[in-house]
Structure 1
């Protein structure tokens, strides 16, 4: 992403349009309906969001609706627990890509990160990365580390594993873990640990102030179900 533009003390660092280009417009509720997914896609096109993020069930629906629009389709894998086997995660990844996913947001194995089982973690991440990179053009991989549930040492291990296999993004959270979601402190830690890799801040981001804080800390993407409210808040602030 481009560097943040200069702003006056009374003006937000990013305009609504600039923030929209960083947002993954998200609907991951189990009870989401086809009508709601189509509305999500229409909103993403209208506001110029970077991507929509949906469960695998709805990837083909979103891909069909967004075809030719420039809005990308992201699908979650191993969501929300991350405890699926490597074989299952690879199968989910391949199916999502076949259905039209441009990006995969995969929940890393929490047990492996907590136990420091780097071998298992790397093997699983590599297998999913291989599935993404087998496509032409390559499909982008974001690794969700559930940062709020980890110690500093565990977060560093997870970031370095994602970096080692060549993941495109480290993503903070599913947004569903009771430990919490994204924090500015975790964004800074991920940036310091893996300065060459991009960060997606996700989980509990509902206001423009929160979104801007995440971007200023080093996040290139914002995953949120409150994207419209955030963009409208920034538009109002610029008037």
Structure 2
């Protein structure tokens, strides 16, 4: 495993002074990951995302093909999840999911780290899972971006930083706070710390509990580049 270091001082993310409504709109991944989500629900999500100019929808793997077809003529892409929501999946299974879902139209894929391993500070297992997914993604055309969910509310603060370091070292494009299925969601302290770790090498997705325009602005101010939320329309409605 490569040596883990913080980003150089020049790349540390400082709070941004001004966040515009378009900044918020351009960061939203319009999300529907409830197990009871129907095809009609997913179609409605896609139509809302396209109508409001959101860059992505984030949906369960079952609906990737259909969502990609619905959004084919729009500027909105499809994101999906693997190893979700517990991360208790083998690297081989994760790699297969990446290949299958990319072929079906997923342009970004959010994976969950093996949370139990991170709780035990088993950084090697976490690294091996992320690295396997990243290697698989790099072999595909077009190459899906990989976002790594560290499930911050299940970890101590130092473990959040370790998980972020390991994910960036393994080649993740994004590090992400939460699945939305654990007891807590995105916290400013975690987002800020993850942004410092990511530096200019990766980016941060804040997810879980981002339900108000003020919360969205704060997450972006403190280093998030994306917002995973089921409240996307509410965040941009005037």
State whether residues 203 and 225 of structure 2, in contact with CA within 8 Å, keep that contact through their aligned partners in structure 1: yes
Within 5 Å, which residues of 2 pair with 1:1-239? 13-15=19-21, 17-178=22-183, 180-196=184-200, 197-232=202-237, 236=238
Equivalent pairs, count: 224
What RMSD in Å do the two structures reach over aligned CA positions? Answer: 1.6
**Post-superposition shift, 1:193?**
2.3
**Post-superposition shift, 1:5?**
8.7
CA-to-aligned-CA distance 1:121-142 (integer Å, 9 cap, x gap): 1111111111211112211000
Question: For the residues of structure 1 that align with 2:135 and 2:197, how far apart are their CA atoms?
Answer: 23
Could you tell me the TM-score, scaled by structure 2's length?
0.90
Question: For the residues of structure 2 that align with 1:5 and 1:151, how far apart are their CA atoms?
Answer: 26
Question: For the residues of structure 2 that align with 1:163 and 1:224, how far apart are their CA atoms?
Answer: 23
Question: For the residues of structure 1 that align with 2:73 and 2:176, how far apart are their CA atoms?
Answer: 26
SS in structure 1 of the partner of residue 57 of structure 2: strand
Question: For the residues of structure 2 that align with 1:165 and 1:81, how far apart are their CA atoms?
Answer: 20
SS in structure 1 of the partner of residue 106 of structure 2: coil
Provide runs of 4+ in structure 1 moved above 6 Å: 3-6
**Post-superposition shift, 1:18?**
3.1
State whether residues 205 and 228 of structure 2, in contact with CA within 8 Å, keep that contact through their aligned partners in structure 1: yes
SS in structure 2 of the partner of residue 222 of structure 1: strand
Question: For the residues of structure 1 that align with 2:60 and 2:31, how far apart are their CA atoms?
Answer: 9
Could you tell me the TM-score, scaled by structure 1's length?
0.90
SS in structure 2 of the partner of residue 102 of structure 1: strand
